[in-house]
Structure 1
Amino acid sequence: MDVPETRELAYFVAVAEELHFGRAAQRLGMAQPPLSRAIARLERRMGVQLLARTSRSVRLTGAGQVFLTESRKALDAVTASVRRAQRAARTDPKLTLAMKPNGDAGLLESILQHYRRDPDAVAIEVIVCGIGEQAPMLRDGRADVAFLTAPYDDLAGFDTEPLLTQDQMAVLPRAHRLAGRAALTLADLAGEPLPRWPGDEADATDGRQPEVRDISQVMQLVALGQVVAVLPESVRRRAWPDVACVPLLDAPPTTVVFAWPERTTSRAVAALIRAGAEAAEVAGAGAVRRGEIGYQDTLT
């Protein structure tokens, strides 16, 4: 089988994302004719039509959709291999831990305390990134470990260790008609304006969904009466004085997990995962299930 080169994958991804050869060529810093020829050669060698072209449009075929997903993974893997090799060659080793704002459910300080006592510990760099950015940082090698939240984050391709499972609650303006209730259901929130997180599609029937990027922004919008939100119960500690937090009886629980790339063999990463499990146990989280994860087998 004739395996495509990474250069060809990059060409295809640019065209597939832009759905326009001219814009893709500009993005790649090359002329359009050689780009068009390169994609045509790639399709001939693969024996598959990846793009359906007309004089006015370019769209992905079914095979093209699959190839786009796999090409992105392959390019991320190549980039990650370079970054991790560069880090491994450093004389001052360190781990990079990625998290969204408040994404540690209050466990980070305790985790770092446990980690520093481990003989395999190295320096830790904590990067607080935007919502939804942690998994891409793991995939392309910018991070070694990340706090992710199930079921909302994509855990494909990662080993994981559950740290804390939480119920969810409704976050409402204190003057809201439901703010004084002892508990609510999701049905009680029907028709209420909800915030839209990065990557979420806007509800075509509701133009009241402002996009938010962190918990502080959500709290501000709730306090102003512009939205209500459904958030994990750990956010209660950071709630603003003029918002109310009411338990949701039927909202699915969320689980904060440590995630790291599959087949990782770093002893320093293993030490950090152990520290996370220990901190969760001390916190009484009741969500640590080492036997189900097998991280001691994958990280040795």
Structure 2
Amino acid sequence: MIELETRELEYFIAVADELHFGRAAIQLSIAQPALSKAIRRIESRLGVTLFVRSSRHVELTPAGEALREHGRHALNAVTAAIRNTRHAGDARTHLRLVLKPGGDAGLLSGILAEYSHQPDARRVDILFSGPTDRTDFLHEDRADVGLLYSPFDDLTGLAHEILHTEGRVVIVPRHHRLATRTSVRMSDLEGETLPCWKGLPGDAGTGPEVSDVVQMMHMIAVDRMIAILPRSLVSHTPPDLTAIPVSDAPPSHLVLAWNQHDHRPAITSFVTAALRAHPTADPNAEINHAPTISAHSMA
């Protein structure tokens, strides 16, 4: 029986996706000669050529295309098997919930109260994250569930349920040209400086780098930037700042998210309680295990 190591499949998939040995080696954190040798070893073991190589480009052969398709499924199956095995033997008596400070739109106490009535309720540990790393907590198994904001947080690979939908406001200094307006449109904000959020890839902000809302508020107060945020994040605006509704900004959604491969009953129980606790959520709704890809926003 011909066998391939999981690591060898990971090497092959990386090269097949990048079609470049150098970039794949960087992604895998190994030396390029070692990666090339590993691919040749796979080809020798299988008795086929997987890549057509030249000095200018790399292409997959039909055999390579087949291995990429089936190999990816195999890796996903192994990952799911490991995760489900660990979860099946999960003896933890607590559930870990991650959010950023103030990032619950006032819903958390009601959710926890409702969950406490569940017959299988566990103790819930509250974890606080930075503004951009809550998804890392979920992907890296440092948290079981999280309160995230869509479209600001990337929900790729996460299942989720929307708990709350709200409009956005722009935060400006009291002396700003727009400060006396009762509402603004996105076009009114053209040319303004927006914050650059620390740790957020592809952030469109051109202003100073900030790592939390408190830093951002200080920078707005000294006239270094303005910012667009979900309304609930700025329920207590400092006296030297003004929050103005942005009438045509896409809505912000507070979502309860968890890893799409995590099907433990404990997760389902918590999600069900959260939906029941929120008056606008449908407590009988089927829990959404499908991942959603969301673009980063200005906030």
Q: Does the Cα contact within 8 Å between 1:97 and 1:126 map onto a contact in 2?
A: yes
Task: Report % sequence identity.
Answer: 33
SS in 1 for 2:215: helix
Distance 1:3 1:168, change over 3 A: farther
Distance 1:32 1:276, change over 3 A: same
Give the AA of the match of 1:154: D
Q: How many residues align?
A: 276
Q: In the alignment, which residue of structure 2 is the partner of 1:237?
A: 235
Give the AA of the match of 2:265: R
Residues 159-196 of structure 1: per-residue CA shift (max 9 Å, x gap) = 32211001001011122121121111111111000012
Q: In the alignment, which residue of structure 1 is the partner of 2:183?
A: 183
Q: Which moved more, 1:247-256 or 1:101-110?
A: 101-110
Please state if 1:114 is matched with 2:106: no
SS in 1 for 2:177: coil
1:4-153 pair list within 5 angstroms: 5-8=5-8, 11=11, 19=22, 27-28=29-30, 33-41=33-41, 49=51, 74=75, 78=79, 82=82, 85-86=85-86, 88-153=88-153
| Structure 2 CA distance for aligned equivalents of residues 262 and 105 of structure 1 | 24
SS in 2 for 1:245: strand
Provide structure 1 residue ranges, at least 5 long, that are not aligned to the other structure: none
Q: Does the Cα contact within 8 Å between 1:186 and 1:251 map onto a contact in 2?
A: yes
Q: How much is the aligned-residue C-alpha RMSD, in angstroms?
A: 4.1
Distance 1:177 1:92, change over 3 A: same
Q: In the alignment, which residue of structure 2 is the partner of 1:254?
A: 252
Provide structure 2 residue ranges, at least 5 long, that are not aligned to the other structure: 291-299
The TM-score, its normalising length taken from structure 1, stands at 0.72
The TM-score, its normalising length taken from structure 2, stands at 0.73
| Structure 2 CA distance for aligned equivalents of residues 137 and 295 of structure 1 | 21
Please state if 1:169 is matched with 2:161: no
Shift of 1:144: 1.9
Please state if 1:210 is matched with 2:202: no
| Structure 1 CA distance for aligned equivalents of residues 258 and 53 of structure 2 | 34
Shift of 1:101: 3.5
- Which has a greater percent of helix? 1
Q: In the alignment, which residue of structure 2 is the partner of 1:224?
A: 222
| Structure 2 CA distance for aligned equivalents of residues 265 and 212 of structure 1 | 36
Q: In the alignment, which residue of structure 1 is the partner of 2:297?
A: none
| Structure 2 CA distance for aligned equivalents of residues 102 and 77 of structure 1 | 38
Give the AA of the match of 1:167: G
Residues 83-130 of structure 1: per-residue CA shift (max 9 Å, x gap) = 664465354422222223333222122211221221111122222223
Give the AA of the match of 1:181: R
Please state if 1:294 is matched with 2:286: yes
Shift of 1:43: 7.4
Shift of 1:158: 3.4
Q: Does the Cα contact within 8 Å between 2:98 and 2:143 map onto a contact in 1?
A: yes
